A and B are shown apart, each in its own frame.
Chain A
Amino acid sequence: MTGQRLAWVMAAAVLVAGCGDKPQQNGDSQVVLIGQASPLTGPQAHLGKDNENGARMALDEINAAGLTLGGKKVVLEMRSEDDAADPKTATTVAQKLVDEGVVGVIGHLNSGATIPASKIYFDNGIPQISPSATAVAYTASGFKTAFRVMTNDAQQGTVLGDYAVTKLGAKRIAIIDDRTAYGQGLADEVEKAAKAAGGDVVAREYTSDRSTDFMAILTSIKGKSPDLVFFGGMDPQAAPMIKQMKQLGMKAKFLGGDGAQTPNFIDLAGAAAEGAMASNPGLPLDAMPGGSAFKAKFEAKYGQIQNYSPYAYDAMHVLVAAMKRADSSDPAKYLAELPKTDYQGVTGHIRFDAKGDLAGGAVTLYQVKNGKWQTLETVQSGK
């Protein structure tokens, strides 16, 4: 009896709550909702906020320039959700965005959150462009709603593993990952490429994306005297890790992926960061076609760029460009236009391959010199 009544009350509440958020249509301008999902709390909140700001800046520009679809004036509105970098939360917020009636999604930030969420967007026919998910699995599931404007792990890892052996001359390589879809995926590709280039992987160790203590695994690695330690993971782990390597008196070089190639890494690691190397997919900000203009605009509005905001910015533009070509914000109509994308963005020339991956993405290697990331070189991920 009470259970039944409660169910009715809840159903009514859902109805009432649902009505308020539907896109309204008043007179001649129509509000179209676009979703954004990234971790806005937790250890990676600084990166998540950066993505949100990048997407918001593009959205504000499009609105300011005015957008007309199907003869109607359209005002874009962003719904930003916090997925806490957590796969379970990601599916919840993905469902929430779908229920709110978004026509497309920019996100998520982490591969671990992007992959489970992509199924929900696919089931509801909502196109999704991730600015930063790099795990191969994201586009491997065959969902035709899934796209990314970022070089993927296979491309990046292959470049990194090859670079470690051929350019840095490392014969003995130790690999650590943080057991996330991102960290593990990248580390696996590095391992494959390093072995293919003739390197010897002497240790494969694991940690988590919440750890700060790596003394035990580093001690074990030190016993195997590697020339280079590769870490697949984010800056909150990479920074204490390189500090602890110095504490243990390890001489091995440190190489990381894009999760470690952040200003935050240098702030956190301090003097220990000196000499560390890490890659970032794409071109360095100042070598991007629209990099310096983007930097000036972004920093005037939101402060320092953390990492992926130019990609979130481009992703939003790519999404809306497809709507313009289809002359509709209806996901069923403009989805067909997305694979035909040929867009000159801030981050470079954006085209998608058959899977929705960025075609021919570049990978740039950086090294910390005098407390700053300096560009070493850009390597084209090739066939």
Chain B
Amino acid sequence: MDIFLQQLINGLVLGSVYALVALGYTMVYGILELINFAHGEITMMGAMVALSVIGALALAAPGLPGVLVLGAGLVVAIPVCVALGLLIERVAYRPLRHAPRLAPLITAIGVSIILQNVAMLIWGKQYIPFPAILPQGRHTLYGASITDVQIAILLLATAIMLLLILMVQKTRLGRAMRATAQSRQVASLMGVDVNRVIAATFAIGSALAAVAGVMVSAYYGLAHYYMGFLLGLKAFSAAVLGGIGNLGGAMLGGLLLGLIESFGAGYIGDLTGGFLGSNYQDVFAFFVLIAVLVFRPSGLLGARVVERA
């Protein structure tokens, strides 16, 4: 039971990070039908920028409480990522908006490679350690342990997702986003500034990515210029699993993927008597993804409905 509970916690923490990144993929897809492969790299950039700020602050003012230093890292990383997201949209995607759909997809892959290499030039090829500034508290819950960092990730991710849903459902911008997702042309005929809405989508997605990047580096204690690739791939899979283009789907998909990975890696060896080991954890996760897509091609929540912001 304690093992089960521990795997549940592991999966939820991992899943909520996937969900935050998946939201960025799904929002852009919902509006532009573009898979923004550079999104994983924006997450990485967020982690790197925050780490630089945190590292500098931890050196300059060693007495500051860790949470404040982390906050400062976030406060710098979010605008940098937002600016980066806007720049990429303006330079790499907007000129290709009326091109065949493959063109922006290839551009996205190109942007992702450029960002990786820029990060490698700035921060080097080494893994960068996350300074030990955060409280290392650990709590025991029915035999399972959960750390302060894990609790913070769960709470923060949940709060951000709730805020995002509120924003999309209740605000003017949210309504404009939903309208643009249904039909760009009609929305623009109704007086929606479509370019502004698309830019806002990129900005929000990039801000979420920055937060996710900081979470990942704080959780695992390191950052690296390549970290966005695998994270992006997993988050993209999560978005597809939940139904790409659907906000709730991205959250569900992220959480599910985290749980599947966690339980898959934890139990597959014991369940098959050692025949399949934890080396099959990714196979297992992607097998579930394929199985879902065979029966529900548009993902768990991605019904072929018009509303997809």
Contact = CB atoms under 8 A, between A and B. Distances in A.
A220 interface: yes
A270 B132 contact: yes
Given A43-B127, A220-B265, A223-B3, 8 more contacts: A216-B11, A216-B265, A220-B266, A236-B224, A239-B127, A240-B221, A248-B6, A267-B129
Interface stretch (B34-42, B164-172, B275-283): B275-283
A172 interface: no
A217 B132 contact: no
Nearest to A211: B230
Interface in B122-175: 125-127, 129, 132, 136, 138, 140, 145, 147, 150
A208 B277 CA distance: 13
9 contacts: A40-B125, A49-B125, A206-B278, A215-B13, A217-B266, A223-B3, A243-B220, A249-B140, A270-B129
B270 interface: yes
Given A215-B262, A216-B266, A220-B270, A243 B221 contact: yes
Interface string B220-236: 11101011001000000
Nearest to B227: A212
Interface residues of B, number: 42
Contacts of B138: 247, 249
Centre residue among B145, B227, B264, B267 by max chain A CB count within 10 A: B145
A49 B2 CA distance: 44
B261 interface: yes
Nearest to B282: A208
Contacts of B107: none
Interface residues of A, number: 38
A269 interface: yes
A234 to B, nearest CB: 10
B16 interface: no
A217 B129 contact: no
Contacts of A236: 127, 222, 224
A237 to B, nearest CB: 10
B266 A240 contact: no
A179 interface: yes
B230 A210 contact: yes
A42 B226 contact: yes
A216 B12 CA distance: 11
Nearest to A269: B221
Contact of B3 (A42, A204, A205, A219): A219
B263 to A, nearest CB: 8
Interface in A214-251: 215-217, 219-220, 222-223, 235-236, 239-240, 243, 247-249
Contacts of A235: 127
A46 B125 contact: yes
Interface of B: 2-3, 6-7, 10-11, 13-14, 120, 125-127, 129, 132, 136, 138, 140, 145, 147, 150, 220-222, 224, 226-227, 230, 261-267, 269-270, 274, 277-279, 281-282
Interface in A38-84: 40-43, 45-46, 49
Contacts of A210: 226, 230
Contacts of A326: none
Contacts of A223: 2-3
A377 interface: no
A137 interface: no
Given A217-B265, A248-B145, A204 B129 contact: no
B145 to A, nearest CB: 5
Interface in A186-222: 203-208, 210, 212-213, 215-217, 219-220, 222
Centre residue among A41, A210, A220 by max chain B CB count within 10 A: A220
Nearest to B277: A206
A216 B7 contact: yes
A190 B263 CA distance: 27
A375 interface: no
Contact of A205 (B150, B264, B277): B277
A179 B278 CA distance: 11
Interface in A252-300: 264, 267-271
A82 to B, nearest CB: 11
Given A212-B220, A236-B224, A219 B278 contact: no
